[in-house]
C-alpha cells in the first residue's frame, strides 16, 4: 500500500480571481494586459490560462516591465492572484513562436489558450 504524500495530492482549484474575465477577454481578443506585479508595472501578452497546485496562472510574453521592453523575449508564468489592477489595453499581439500549447504542463489543466 502506498501512502499519498503532499506531492501526490491534486488540490481542487481555488475560487477564480475576480480578474479572470479580464484575462479571458485579453486572450480571446489578442490584446495585451497591463497590471502591477511584484510592485512593478508590466504589460503582458497572455497566451494561456491554466491551474497548477489549485491556483490559477497565466503564461504570457512580457512586452514591457516598468515601461521598458525586456532584453530578450520570454514566456513567463504569472500567478493571476498576484497581478493587481489588471486591465485590457488597446495594444494587439500575435501568438509568440515561443508558446507551445502542446507542452505537457498544460495537459488537462488548460482553461483557455490563444489560437493561431
Q: Residue 19's pLDDT band (boundaries 50, 70, 90)?
A: confident
Q: Residue 2's pLDDT band (boundaries 50, 70, 90)?
A: very low
- The average pLDDT across 6-32 equals 77
Q: Tell whether the model's pLDDT for residue 17 goes beyond 80.
A: no
Mean pLDDT of the chain: 89
Residue 13 per-residue DSSP state: P
Report whether 64 contacts 12 (CB < 8 A).
no
Confidence at residue 12, expressed as pLDDT on a 0 to 100 scale = 52
Contacting residues for 76 by C-beta, under 8 A, at least 6 apart: 59, 60, 61, 62
Contacting residues for 110 by C-beta, under 8 A, at least 6 apart: 48, 49, 50, 101
Amino acid at each position: 500500500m502506498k501512502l499519498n504524500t503532499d506531492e501526490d495530492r491534486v488540490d481542487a482549484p481555488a475560487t477564480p480571481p475576480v480578474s479572470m474575465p479580464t484575462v479571458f477577454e485579453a486572450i480571446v481578443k489578442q490584446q495585451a494586459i497591463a497590471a502591477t506585479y511584484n510592485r512593478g508595472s508590466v504589460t503582458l501578452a497572455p497566451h494561456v490560462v491554466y491551474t497548477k497546485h489549485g491556483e490559477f496562472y497565466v503564461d504570457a510574453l512580457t512586452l514591457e516591465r516598468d515601461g521598458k521592453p525586456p532584453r530578450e523575449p520570454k514566456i513567463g508564468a504569472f500567478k493571476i492572484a498576484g497581478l493587481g489592477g489588471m486591465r485590457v489595453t488597446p495594444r494587439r499581439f500575435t501568438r509568440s513562436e515561443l508558446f507551445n500549447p502542446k507542452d505537457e504542463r498544460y495537459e488537462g489543466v488548460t482553461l483557455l489558450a490563444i489560437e493561431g
